[in-house]
Amino acid sequence: MENVATQINFQTKEISLIIVEDYKLTRVGLRSVLNEFDGLSVIGEAQSGEEAIEKVKSLNPDVVLMDLGLPGMNGLEATTKIKEIMPKCEIIMLTSHERDEEITAALGCGASGYCLKDITPDLLADTIKNVYKGACFLSPKVRNAALKAFPKPENTNLSTKPKYDNIKAQLTERELEVLKHLVDGKSNTEIANELIVSVHTAKAHVCSILQKLCVEDRVQAAVKAIRENIV
């Protein structure tokens, strides 16, 4: 009986969250809303970047919801520091900022998601769960900023772009399959299920793809694959 209980607890593990937001009313509202969803648990709050770092150190959350415009250390600086000390902690920007440079900077600092504050509670909850599993998410309004992060090719004639063919040639058939799933926004777990391999193997393929494409994260890999017609 004890083994069954242990198994159930493992299967229903809650995703632990820290909310970083300088407005108390917003923090309280987010905590109240997110705690209503099965599988999510807000374990802490912070009103500044400095406090966020200390809370992450002490509480070891799975995911951090990070505001961008914080007093003192801003959300970008805090994200960079948190990823340095706890790389496995996923960070989702939750902000009203829509400027291209802020979006690309957040992704470059290690954020796995960028959501605007007009997001619905259901979509935010789903985003948190998917990002925790290894996916990336960008609000529809800001996706163009990620595309703009990559320069357009000087020549759009595919027959005169051997460097793109060379990149594709470096990828194995399995890595091309994984890359197609990355373009579709699938997590490591979903990719593993699709290809009938372990999550560890799927993650290894993703890491290899990032290295071969010379990009830093899944979002950049997906954008480059589409823009350079690799898949």
Closest Cα to residue 229, out of 173, 172, 167, 182?
Answer: 167
Condensed to tens digits (0 to 9), the pLDDT of residues 53-83 reads 999 999 999 999 999 999 889 999 999 999 9
At 155 the pLDDT is 57
Distance CA 11, CA 193 (A): 17
pLDDT higher at 98 or 27: 27
Residue 105 pLDDT level (bands cut at 50, 70, 90): confident
CATH 1.10.10.10 for the 158-227 domain, yes or no: yes
Average pLDDT, the chain: 83
Residues with Cβ within 8 Å of 46's Cβ and at least 6 positions away in sequence, in order, are: 18, 19, 20, 21, 52, 54, 55
At 115 the pLDDT is 92
At 58 the pLDDT is 96
Distance CA 100, CA 223 (A): 15
Does the pLDDT at position 11 exceed 70?
Answer: no
Q: What is the mean pLDDT of residues 204-218?
A: 81
Does the pLDDT at position 6 exceed 70?
Answer: no
For residues 143 and 220, the answer to whether their CB atoms sit within 8 Å is no
Does the pLDDT at position 162 exceed 50?
Answer: no
Does the pLDDT at position 106 exceed 70?
Answer: yes
- Residue 62, SS3 per DSSP: coil
Q: Is the dihedral of CA 178, 184, 187, 193 positive or negative?
A: negative
At 4 the pLDDT is 44
As beta bridge partners, residue 44 has 18
- Amino acid identity of residue 10, one-letter, is F
Does the pLDDT at position 140 exceed 60?
Answer: yes
Q: What is the mean pLDDT of residues 171-197?
A: 87
For residues 188 and 206, the answer to whether their CB atoms sit within 8 Å is yes
Does the pLDDT at position 38 exceed 70?
Answer: yes
Residue extents of the structural domains in the chain: 2-148, 158-227
CATH class of the structural domain 2-148? alpha beta
**Domains 2-148 and 158-227 are alike in CATH topology:** no
- Amino acid identity of residue 211, one-letter, is Q
At 230 the pLDDT is 81
Could you tell me the two tokens for 108?
């470059």
